[in-house]
Amino acid sequence: MRVLVYSDDAGTREKVRLAIGRRPAVDLPEVEIVECATELAVFKHLETGGIDVAVLDGEAAPAGGMGICRQAKDEIHNCPPVLLLIARRDDRWLANWSRADAVIAQPIDPVALAESVAELLRRRLTLSRAS
């Protein structure tokens, strides 16, 4: 399974990568992390397919994860589930606007992030088996 991690901040990408690890839950296969630092790279990977979950940094610049999420949900056929990282808990309404499937507030809680990614991966597996 492949998890896309988008942030313009290499430190944020590293925290997400370390939280997910090689296997976010024992009942899931190992994951491959695809790191992206630009909006263009995110859409290239999403359009090509093969991404099972996307983790997007809502605070990334110049393109924030919320806007990318909203655009991906509108434009990408069979868009993978998206977990959005937000800076403030009060930004949840913006995450809802962006149609994110899950939201984690920063600072990143590694256990909560891994559990959320695992749940989204399980959903993706269930959908792919059903089709």
Higher per-residue confidence, 107 vs 127 = 107
Please state the φ and ψ torsions of residue 127, each to the nearest 5 degrees: -65, -40
Over range 115-130, report the average pLDDT.
88
Q: Are 56 and 83 in contact (CB under 8 A)?
A: yes
Residues 122, 89: Cα–Cα separation, whole Å: 25
Residue 32 has pLDDT above 80, yes or no: yes
What per-residue confidence (pLDDT) applies to 88? 83
CATH code of the domain covering residue 114: 3.40.50.2300
pTM equals: 0.95
- Report residue 4 as tokens: 């896309």
Residue 44 has pLDDT above 90, yes or no: yes
Q: The domain containing residue 96 runs over which residues?
A: 2-130
Residue 40 has pLDDT above 80, yes or no: yes
Query: For the chain, what is the domain count?
Result: 1
**Residue 59: Cβ within 10 Å count:** 18
